[in-house]
Amino acid sequence: MTLATYDLATSDRIDELLGRLDAIHPILQNEADDSERLRRPTPAVQDALHESGVLALMVPRELGGFEATPLETIQVIEKLSYSDSSLGWLVRALATETANAATYLDDGAVDSLFGAGRNTLVAGQSTAFTGTAVAVDGGYKVSGNWQYAPGLSMATHVNVAVTVEPTGERLVCIVPRGQLLISDNWDMLGLRATASLDYVAENVFVAKEFAFEIGREHVRRGGVVNRLSPALVAGLYQAAWSQGIARRMLEELRILTHRKCQDPGSPVASDEFFAEFARRYSHMQGTMALLRETWRSNEQTFAAGGELSDEQETMSRLASSLATRTALEISQLVHHFAGAQVMQNGPLQRFFRDSHAGTLHRGSAHIVTQQCGRMLSGTLPEGSHWGFFDLVIPDDGLSQGSLETRPTATPERVTT
């Protein structure tokens, strides 16, 4: 018996995808050590991911993708992250950035990238506007440097997020990978197989049709998930990833307990361990229930043609933050009771390391929980709302000292 998975309603296509992920699970396990050594998925793993179709998870249906709903996305990423935490992280990034290009580019650019027989994958950081662009005849000349692009080794194209000089317009440009300078500098403690590399553009020309603005008013195709704000998409993926690795760490502890149950001196055969295991198991089930119910409510709002309320958006962010915190708590349980097993090479060590690397994500940090509490308490001034990762508080509220943390994102409201 293994720890329970979750029964979410899915379309037939998503059911087939989930079945294919089950089928490639043994390949992912057998190749995990080599992927870590290479710091990127092995060729066998890359082939398995391509053949499964999971990289098209959020690509609009009209372009051959799954156009998965948020609830379907949760189930797919949770399952893949349970198999391999690095791959879950890598796929969430590639699926998001590839879908962004498929969602926002005009018809001509989309046809050249996603037409019949093409297998385009886009990596990059579409929300880190650390580059600059200058308008020239027919497009832009772009320069800049960007960090931490998971899956860059698998991508055919890379997005470069830039600010146009001197107008201040923010654009995302799609560039063939070969036109950029790639730094093979990924040497981290966790998420090693993601190849989250840095990249540089030096005066690269980008035709105008391969540049776009992000925002619901600029969406050209796709479903509900393609119209979510980047912050909510990031939180959705982060929560699903956290649930997958939390469930896998508990499963590895369960296996270890069965192996050590005849040893009365083993920490994982103690009454204290069983009490803590039950507590963490309930936290995992609880955060999944909260996540599922929150997004079911969101989907019902979208289906009725409505907008998310401030409370719904707050609960979406809170569910992601709590899922991340639960994964960290389970990793601490692993460290406290598994002893030398954590130090030995194997799944338990790998998921332990990856859990600590991945839970550093800004969108689900403890400060998000704090800000959610401020919103839910009703103590903030009228007009307070979510920006990108932070709350945006009216100036008069700040002058009264109602919130110490100033927003780090642009002050405009980010809608879903």
Residues 312 and 349 both lie in one domain: yes
Residues 235 and 367 both lie in one domain: yes
CA–CA dist 222, 299 (Å, integer): 15
What pTM does this model have? 0.90
Quick one: how far is CA 384 from the chain centroid?
26
Residues 240 and 158 both lie in one domain: no
Asked whether residue 252 is assigned to any structural domain, the reply reads yes
Quick one: how far is CA 136 from the chain centroid?
34
Residues 249 and 303 both lie in one domain: yes
Q: Judge whether residue 407 has pLDDT over 70.
A: no
CA–CA dist 325, 318 (Å, integer): 10
CA–CA dist 92, 223 (Å, integer): 17
pLDDT tens string 318-341 = 999 999 999 999 999 999 998 777
Whether 54 and 76 have beta carbons less than 8 Å apart is answered as: yes
Residues 42 and 136 both lie in one domain: no
Residues 237 and 210 both lie in one domain: no
How many domains does the chain divide into?
Answer: 3
pLDDT tens string 394-405 = 875 443 333 433
Residues 233 and 341 both lie in one domain: yes
% the chain with pLDDT above 70: 92
Among the residue ranges 5-9, 63-67, 94-98, the one predicted with the least confidence is 5-9
Asked whether residue 412 is assigned to any structural domain, the reply reads no
CA–CA dist 34, 350 (Å, integer): 12
3-state secondary structure of 142: strand
The residue out of 215, 249, 266 marking a domain boundary is 215
Residues 93 and 181 both lie in one domain: no
% the chain with pLDDT above 90: 73
CATH code for position 43? 1.10.540.10
Residues 143 and 184 both lie in one domain: yes
Domain span at 96: 12-114
Give the tokens for residue 196.
Answer: 């989250």
3-state secondary structure of 106: coil
Local confidence band at 145 (pLDDT 50, 70, 90 cut-offs): very high
Residue 408: predicted pLDDT: 35
Q: Please provide residue 207's backbone torsions phi and psi, each rounded to the nearest 5 degrees.
A: -60, 150
Whether 342 and 370 have beta carbons less than 8 Å apart is answered as: no
Peptide bond into 150 cis (omega under 30): no
Residues 88 and 211 both lie in one domain: no
